[in-house]
Structure 1
Amino acid sequence: MTIRAGWPLIQPQPRLSILIYHRVLSEADPMRPDDPDVETFDRQMRLLARYTRVMALDEAIERLERGDLPRGATAITFDDGYADNYSNALPILQRHGLSATFFVATGFLNGGRMFNDTIIEAVNRAGDGGIHLGELGLGHVPTSGTATRYYAMERITQAVKHLPAQARQQALELLLERVGVPVEGGSPMMTDAQVRGLHEAGMLIGAHTVSHTILRRLDDATALREISDSRDYLSGLLRQPVRFFAYPNGRPGQDYGPRETRLARALGFRAALCIARGGAAPGSDLYQLPRYTPHSPSPVKFLAQLMRCSREEAQAVF
């Protein structure tokens, strides 16, 4: 019995499994262990195409609402707007005949850099001497060796990711000053032309705020502006409505709450996506659709994680 034929046993009730990716790297990077390289991503897409029913997000949501979602239904999403989504992920998706939705933080297009990328590059350039970051409540942060640098990156990220955009930028400037070596190289983010290229290739484009700040930390006017400006920029770029939204970071009750779901509804989005383990079932809140990533590079473990999560109905509650 193949897995596809066995979905009624694996998944007694239909669930929509929505997978989330951020980057597809040209080669593996120990500082980005959750981001697959092209070989791993190609293998995962081959498995999804063979064993599940990958659907475009808009079709999947329509069928979820109608109650005729097939078992094994899966949708693929990407967050943030990295250029390797276009250069590395798109050709693989096309090779396997798959669709995906790309949620773009518009403030970083055309030469920008997200804060986590600046942190990784700064830590990599710090050498073995460590970084003193007492102002961030971290004291002396060791940076000798790959494992230690990864831990340093995690600590710094957690210290700054929930700050308002201006305070976060000030923290990054402090970090770069302490490292004493400027971050070099081009932007890792997409250009407008690459976003249009994804759209022209048949992929869906969704909004992901302007600056990828944590919405619950913002006042009402700023939260509204972050979401609506992102939507409007992309709508103008693509010359059509942008119907889907993903909450930055996306943890229910921590990174977004009832106010944010109301904003997503009021701004006319068809659905909004969060980060929660499990699958969406008929009757799930369309403004808290769960997403997760089966992280294992092992094909067997990848499928096992996918099947286990797809059996669970996510409870995205505040």
Structure 2
Amino acid sequence: MSELLQRPRTGTRIRVAVTFDDGYFDNIDVAMPILRQYGIPITWFVATDFIDNADLVPWWDLIDLTLAECYEPVEFTVDGIKGIYDPTVVADRQWLNTRLRMILKSTGLLQRDAIIEDMRYAISRQYTLPTNSYAREEEIKSVLQGGDIELGGHTGSHPNVALCSSDELKAEINRGKIRLEKISGQSLNWFAYPFGGRGAFSPSAAKAVQEAGFNGACSLVSGTVSMKTEKYMIPRYAISPNMTMETFKARVLGAPLYAGLESLRSSISMSSVRKYGKGFVG
């Protein structure tokens, strides 16, 4: 990230920065040996609460465990998700895999944590919860010795920062930053908004990131980087696990085309906002 954003561009070749979010161990175990083989540096955005507490399983992994390991109905008791859901029934699986994810992405911290605790209890009645799959402090320290990995902030508990209060924003952003700087012994320059799509960051979040001392912040809104790019809304292209090599090549090499289409879509959306007066959270 630092090399891409702080060095002036020369020539017409496409320049690419590779980033990973969250802090899973498979980033070290699977991805990094391949990237090092080809001399590709990365920026690694790590949510620190999960590396410090192995028993803290992220809610998206809890959903996956429910779908994979629970063969009897699970009962949730917290308002907003209250009900009995059978993972073996198609309609209930769809609710768990789509609606529940949307609820948790669009829920404030207190309600989110209540739902997570309710999920943990319901799942644990059928299945012994494993430790999470995040890297641990010593593993992160070890991999940083290669000098080709730049750590970036990603909060403590991976909330939707657009829904956080001012105090929650400061606590989440600073907790993650301080912890990673202690692990690495270096100042952090970059931040990535958890989830990162439209509705997962806001002007107040961008201000909090800047006040915490970061040079910029990444979203997951598609787009290319230019001299006009807003430093606290840097676009990125998401690469999904089920993407074929052909699709991956098209996504990377066709980035300028994707950026043009995204710009056109945004222009159309803003035109509708001006015409009909509808607001949105960016």
In the alignment, what sits opposite 1:306? 252
Query: Which residue, 260, 284, 307 being the options, matches 2:205?
Result: 260
Task: Confirm or deny that 1:88 pairs with 2:18.
Answer: no
Query: In the aligned structure 2, how far is the partner of 1:69 from the partner of 1:238?
Result: 34
Shift of 1:248: 1.0
Shift of 1:139: 4.1
Where does 1:18-97 land on structure 2 (aligned, <5 Å)?
Answer: 57-63=1-7, 66-68=8-10, 70-97=12-39
Cα gap change, 1:145/1:95 in structure 2, threshold over 3 Å: closer, same or farther?
Answer: farther
Secondary structure, aligned partner of 2:235: coil
Secondary structure, aligned partner of 1:74: coil
Where does 1:198-217 land on structure 2 (aligned, <5 Å)?
Answer: 198-201=143-146, 202-217=148-163
User: In angstroms, what is the RMSD of aligned CA positions?
Assistant: 2.5
In the alignment, what sits opposite 1:46? none
In the alignment, what sits opposite 1:131? 74
Query: In the aligned structure 2, how far is the partner of 1:174 from the partner of 1:69?
Result: 55
Secondary structure, aligned partner of 2:217: strand
In the alignment, what sits opposite 1:107? 49
Secondary structure, aligned partner of 1:222: helix
Instruction: Provide Cα deviations, 1:76-98, integer angstroms capped at 9, x if missing partner.
Output: 11111111111111111112221
Percent identical among aligned pairs is 22
Instruction: Provide Cα deviations, 1:250-305, integer angstroms capped at 9, x if missing partner.
Output: 124x1211111122222221221001112112211111110122445322222122
Shift of 1:144: 1.7
Shift of 1:116: 1.2
- Conservation of the 8 A alpha-carbon contact between 2:153 and 2:190: yes
Secondary structure, aligned partner of 1:272: strand
Unaligned runs of 5+ in 1: 1-56
Query: In the aligned structure 1, how far is the partner of 2:249 from the partner of 2:66?
Result: 35
Secondary structure, aligned partner of 1:188: coil
Task: Confirm or deny that 1:153 pairs with 2:105.
Answer: no
Query: In the aligned structure 1, how far is the partner of 2:165 from the partner of 2:46?
Result: 22
In the alignment, what sits opposite 2:142? 197
Secondary structure, aligned partner of 2:152: strand
Shift of 1:210: 0.6
What is the letter of the counterpart of residue 117 of structure 1? D
Query: Which residue, 263, 269, 272 being the options, matches 2:214?
Result: 269
Which is further off, 138-147 or 298-307?
A: 138-147
Query: In the aligned structure 2, how far is the partner of 1:273 from the partner of 1:183?
Result: 36
Q: Name which structure has the greater RCO, CA cutoff 8 Å, separation 6+.
A: 1
Shift of 1:67: 4.5
Cα gap change, 1:193/1:150 in structure 2, threshold over 3 Å: closer, same or farther?
Answer: farther
Cα gap change, 1:237/1:176 in structure 2, threshold over 3 Å: closer, same or farther?
Answer: closer
Instruction: Provide Cα deviations, 1:115-154, integer angstroms capped at 9, x if missing partner.
Output: 2112211332221x44344743464434127997466233
- Conservation of the 8 A alpha-carbon contact between 2:144 and 2:184: yes
TM-score (norm 2): 0.81
In the alignment, what sits opposite 2:278? none
Shift of 1:199: 1.9
- Conservation of the 8 A alpha-carbon contact between 2:49 and 2:156: yes
In the alignment, what sits opposite 1:289? 234
In the alignment, what sits opposite 2:272? none
Where does 1:167-206 land on structure 2 (aligned, <5 Å)?
Answer: 167-179=111-123, 180-201=125-146, 202-206=148-152
Cα gap change, 1:158/1:92 in structure 2, threshold over 3 Å: closer, same or farther?
Answer: same
Query: Which residue, 225, 229, 233 being the options, matches 2:179?
Result: 233
What is the letter of the counterpart of residue 153 of structure 2? A
Shift of 1:166: 3.6
Query: In the aligned structure 1, how far is the partner of 2:16 from the partner of 2:226?
Result: 12
Query: In the aligned structure 2, how far is the partner of 1:237 from the partner of 1:70?
Result: 38
Secondary structure, aligned partner of 1:136: coil
Query: In the aligned structure 2, how far is the partner of 1:119 from the partner of 1:183?
Result: 14
Secondary structure, aligned partner of 1:109: helix
Instruction: Provide Cα deviations, 1:50-96, integer angstroms capped at 9, x if missing partner.
Output: xxxxxxx1110013xx3437532111111111111111111111122
What is the letter of the counterpart of residue 205 of structure 1? L
Which is further off, 73-82 or 136-145?
A: 136-145
What is the letter of the counterpart of residue 4 of structure 2? A
Shift of 1:184: 2.8
Which is further off, 233-242 or 175-184?
A: 175-184
- Conservation of the 8 A alpha-carbon contact between 2:66 and 2:87: no
